[in-house]
Structure 1
Amino acid sequence: MDENVPLDQLARRLERVVSELRGLPVDVERLEDGALVQQRIAQAVGAARELRAMHPVGTADLGRQEQRSRREVLDALERGMAMRTIVHASILDDPRKAARIRQLHAAGDLHRVVDEPIQQLLIFDRTVAFLRLTPLPYAPGALMIRHQSLIATLIDLFEQTWARAREVGEPAYRLTAREREVLALIAEGRSNGAVARALSITEAAVGKHVASVFAKLEIPAGPDDNRRVLAVLAYLRGAAR
């Protein structure tokens, strides 16, 4: 599994999977009715031990429906179901949905966040998957997939996306491996010159890495603050990833 594939390419691969399924091979059922989709998903929830999910936008549920959906997830977790969920970052713009995600994450439905496009997808164990027919938010209908090679492809796409996604609550930025190395050496009290010698790079290159770290950590220049110390504190707190 190649973890270096950009997520936009993964999204296009998933769209191609949907396109290729238009002919409906054996073990793929087209469900047009939303109520039937929910019924089949409920049946899968009752039998499965593991769920992988991808959600491009927040759920449309409101009020009691949203509370019921949350309760169903919590009940499944209590029964021992293992859950991992990938959501699009736009969901976190809604405070209520963000609070729900954090509650479910804390309860054991582990969430990660991506900024690139993803599609609605549910995979129960390695047995059945539900894939939205149309890659648009709240579009009706889904494909119910039991074809094992197709499920394996969807699992592979999920795992690649999961590996590249960030944790809930983690900043959108990520330091590069070299920036983390530079920051770790600064945390040891080394000067730019000492960092350069340790990494066998030029001092000018160190300066560029340090400037990038300051920018990503949003540490402004000011007469009253030591930016290197603030960056090191962020590193020690685990905020600089």
Structure 2
Amino acid sequence: MTSLLSLGLTEDQERLYRHLLRNLGSDVDAAGAELLMPNARSVAADLRAMGLIDDTSTPVTPAIAVDLLVRHRLERTRRQLTGLTLAWDVLTELTEEHRSGRTVHVVEHVRDGPAVAQRVLALLTDEPGELAQVGERVPDHQAGSAAAPFAGLLARGLRSRTLVPARALDDPDRDLRSRKWHAAGDLHRVTSEPVRQVTLVNRAVAFVRADPAHHGGGMVQIRQRGVVALLVDAFDGMWSRGRELDDRPLSPIEQSVLNALTSHNTDEAAARSLNVSVRKFRGHVADLMAKAGVSTRFQAALVARRRGWL
């Protein structure tokens, strides 16, 4: 006979449930006497708690019973897996202590950029899983001597995502650097939302600027699971709302040039509406076309409508 023990019932619980199923209307005391089960009432209470019998000791159908037992078993398995996840977190901390020779704290102030870069790279070298970052400044682990090791991690399959505020890309050097890293595998998107400097390593460790108003104040390293999970959720939401590098909003002058271009029949009239020379206006138009990635004004108009610039 197939047993329900594998789904979490004890032997007495299964015997009582089967008896009540075969003898509908039987009360618990009578069932206990017939089964020689002196603890029948406590066993019945357990079955009620699991939803297998109701207050009148009437059993649910076998299909419902098995469904409930499977759900209970899955929930117990989920809790066990959560415990195992915590065990892996402990292993990560022990590995870091063994590697660095220092105590690992849940929250720790790391005072300078090179030390932050060293920790980020060490964590990713031990477990090259996932990196997520947002901020106006280039992260320390992508600058100076740390750039080459980070590029090596990308080449070995590190999944990396970076959110950059749109205003930061007004700097040509930052725009060029972002495109370079994007091409190397560190996927970039642009956001218009307010940002703080945050780096998230393997969804388990966060680095947050210690003083938002002071770039030289170092970073706070956080390993507290709840806090890191909140930061990861916030990043994922911003990432889903972000734009591709070539799809970022227009600057005020670019928007004015586009509006003038579509509102006037000649460059002379469009330039007069902006109080600039025709040469200056045509230079702005060329920059706008380059940003749209097109070679004609007609194509620029189509791209502008598709991207919501008009």
Bin the TM-score by the shorter chain. 0.5 to 0.7
Q: Which residue of 189, 200, 203 maps to 1:126?
A: 203
Asked if 1:223 corresponds to 2:303, the answer is no
Code of the residue aligned with 2:133 in structure 1: it is A
Asked if 1:95 corresponds to 2:172, the answer is yes
Unaligned runs of 5+ in 1: 1-25, 174-213
Within-5 A mapping of 1:25-104 = 27-46=106-125, 47-58=127-138, 66=143, 68-104=145-181
The structure with the largest alpha-carbon Rg is 2
Code of the residue aligned with 1:223 in structure 2: it is N
Q: TM-score, normalised by structure 1?
A: 0.59
Code of the residue aligned with 2:196 in structure 1: it is Q
**Which of 137-146 and 98-107 deviates more?**
137-146
CA positional deviation for 1:86 = 0.6
Asked if 1:144 corresponds to 2:221, the answer is yes
Residues in 2 aligned to 1:67 and 1:139: alpha-carbon distance in whole angstroms: 16
Determine if contact 1:83/1:108 at 8 Å carries over to the other structure.
yes
Percent of residue pairs identical: 33
Between Structure 1 and Structure 2, how many residues are aligned? Answer: 171
CA positional deviation for 1:29 = 1.9
Aligned position for 2:39:
none
Determine if contact 1:60/1:138 at 8 Å carries over to the other structure.
no
Decide which structure has greater helix share.
2
Q: Which residue of 221, 233, 239 maps to 2:302?
A: 233
CA positional deviation for 1:111 = 0.7
Residues in 1 aligned to 2:113 and 2:140: alpha-carbon distance in whole angstroms: 13
Residues in 1 aligned to 2:113 and 2:196: alpha-carbon distance in whole angstroms: 17
Q: TM-score, normalised by structure 2?
A: 0.47
Code of the residue aligned with 2:263 in structure 1: it is A
Residues in 1 aligned to 2:201 and 2:229: alpha-carbon distance in whole angstroms: 12
Residues in 2 aligned to 1:216 and 1:45: alpha-carbon distance in whole angstroms: 45
Decide which structure has greater strand share.
1
Higher RCO (CA 8 Å, separation ≥ 6 residues): 1
